[in-house]
A and B are shown apart, each in its own frame.
Chain A
Amino acid sequence: MQRQVALIKQSLFDQGYLDEQFMELEELQDDANPNFVEEVATLYFKDSARLINNIEQALERGSFDFNRLDNYMHQFKGSSTSIGASKVKTECTMFREYCRAGNAEGCLRTFKQLKKEHATLRKKLEQYFQLARQAGPKEIARRPK
């Protein structure tokens, strides 16, 4: 079980869903904060879901206020970076570039992609956390440094 967990995690890294930042977060997890990473991930998804909604609405309106979109995306990028959501972050960056270029079409496309990545990551992390919980805290502690 634990090996499974480790494998999943490893694959997440390998596939580029997560980056070193995630590892840093795990470092912060300790006895005082046993579920730190999961907590943070939960927060992140909650926040980002809201942001995605906002962006969606803004895009649907069709007015394409690039400034505003850029702002949203900046926030999104910030939190994604903090949690180590690497692919999501990349999409954010692309989206912002399209914004700056005023490329509405590009924005829409990227946004779709971003949502996809976001959803995928969410699923995978949920899976991961579930397994990790089942495996017990030992797994985390044992994570090789």
Chain B
Amino acid sequence: MTVEQDCVALDQFPVGMRVLAVDDDQTCLRILESLLHRCQYHVTTTNQAQKALELLRENKNKFDLVISDVDMPDMDGFKLLELVGLEMDLPVIMLSAHSDPKYVMKGVTHGACDYLLKPVRIEELKNIWQHVVRSRFDKNRGSNNGDKKDGSGNEGVANSDQNNGRANRKRKDQYNEDEDEERDDNDDPSSQKKPRVVWTVELHKKFVAAVNQLGFEKAMPKKILDLMNVEKLTRENVASHLQKFRLYLKRISGNQQAIMANSDLHFLQMSNGLDGFHHRPIPAGSGQFHGGAAAAAGMRPFPPNGILGRLNTPSGIGGVRSLSSSPSSGMFLQNPTDLGKFHHVSSLPLNHIDGGNILQGLPMPLEFDQLQTNNNKSIIPGNSMAAFPSFPSTQQSSLPNNNSHLVLQGHPQASPSAFPGHQINKRLEHWSNAVSSSSSTLPPPPAQNSNSIMSHQFDDGSSSYSIPFCDSTIPLAPAMDTNPRAFYRTTDLDSNANVQPGGVYYDSLQMRQSGNYGPTTDALLSSNAKEGFIVGQQKLQSGFMGAEAGSLDDIVNSTMKQEQSQGDLSEGDLGYGGFSSLRTCL
């Protein structure tokens, strides 16, 4: 760094760039600090990741860049990386003595903008400022069309930074407004700084709705923002959320963006629950995801069947209704055998199910995994909401139901009103599985069946994520009353999940959800999300029904056929046309 620059005020980026260095090894930290000083950066060090997070959260604009070691005792470096990326959106550089490409890859997938090997050399550190500029540049470019970018070049760095800074100033939410801050006082940007946006279920739903409306491919932050029409939300918030959302989707399904809706819940949960560091409550249901902070893993259930996503859509809801009406739904429930598998399954009081409309309010699909696997099952929306016991993941296999009527309803276990926000997908799958397996046996007493089938429960959130619905024994009766509609939360996640959101149910569910869960409830989210997911539900319904109807065949078939017509269920998992019948059941 040139000496002359030294004399210049902090304006001379990269001189004075504020770096936060995190490494549990004191020796390395000291050396790093010294190296960074040599590069004329402004350095803050800490040997604890937690402390680093605190520092960052305390004032997002305090730092330009974070350098973090990978192996740290109190928190995994990658986790820190993710958190910082999500919460603060700062560029993070990973540092490690591991040169294994696996680690490097991990760094990349977790969002690191660079990966350095120890021992770090000063030459490498001399260039790290480029990451800061680049990220600002990209942000600017995103929001404005590059009017700021004029100098983006390196030597123009100082200039561009300044320009960017100015441009940034225009944008309220600029994080990394260092330049501004440097130029102005620090208070200025800080005061303008918006509090971190919490992506609640509601908000996320809006987001998803907007995205769906625009078309996933074409969704642009600005437009989404406009559609969402939420004050105090900035384009940047939306942009970063969209980015995460896309990543999330990719992770869970590769290309099925359709699942979006489904994924919402998961996504939210995931992102919320990413590491527990998030303040966002992790919905209980998200437990499944959650685990997925490893999202990829967790998310599995979301098959891109976006269909499910749109629970909200009235059509879906209406559709659901129809499903519920069919008494034959009882058939679907049957999986009694399967249900048995789920543990609680039997507990589901299907009371409501007269015809075995199982799905009414059936607990939402079992855990994701299960749902996933069982894609084929059609989720039969149980009108009577049989509280489906949440199928433990184990169930899945058990349910090879031919009927596959999925009774999906995610009836919230325990709380009749609230659906445990379990991952709908899971449930669905399970459900499907269960259903399918049980298909052979016609649903045992309707009341029972319905319950058992879908006990996917939506976790209310917090509690048990994957809790098998069974527990909740969702009193069908109450549930039924309340949710006549099969709650099909069929978490669209699993494409199979024919979860048909009982339109009606859905509403109630939602309502309930909101009531129950409260803000934190991610679970709520889940339920809501489910609704959102159910977008395709209707489609699913059609899909499901057809396919699954095993024993239930006649009834189901008839219903399903109806569905089929609607059927878009092509999703594949469910593919049932039967779903339509579900609707009727509802």
Contact = CB atoms under 8 A, between A and B. Distances in A.
Q: Do A and B come from one complex?
A: yes
A71 B25 CA distance: 13
Residue of B24, B28, B37, B96 with most chain A CB atoms under a 10 A cut-off: B28
A112 to B, nearest CB: 23
B141 interface: no
Interface string B64-79: 0000000100000000
Contacts of A65: none
Contact of B34 (A36, A44, A74): A36
B119 A82 contact: yes
B339 to A, nearest CB: 42
Contact of A78 (B35, B118, B121): B118
B27 interface: yes
Contact of B26 (A21, A33, A43): A43
B38 A79 contact: no
Contacts of B122: 24, 27-28
Contacts, number: 57
B8 interface: no
A39 interface: yes
Contacts of B57: none
Nearest to B122: A24
A75 B122 CA distance: 21
B118 A28 contact: no
B97 interface: yes
Interface in B66-122: 71, 96-98, 118-122
Interface in A18-50: 21, 24-25, 27-28, 32-33, 36, 39-40, 43-44, 46-47
Contacts of A24: 119, 121-122
A21 B120 CA distance: 9
A83 to B, nearest CB: 6
A25 B31 contact: yes
A40 B30 contact: yes
Interface string B34-73: 1101100000000000000000000000000000000100
A41 to B, nearest CB: 9
28 contacts: A24-B121, A24-B122, A27-B122, A28-B34, A28-B35, A28-B38, A33-B34, A36-B34, A39-B30, A40-B27, A40-B30, A43-B27, A46-B26, A47-B25, A71-B71, A74-B71, A74-B98, A75-B25, A78-B28, A78-B71, A79-B28, A82-B27, A82-B31, A82-B118, A82-B119, A83-B27, A83-B31, A84-B119
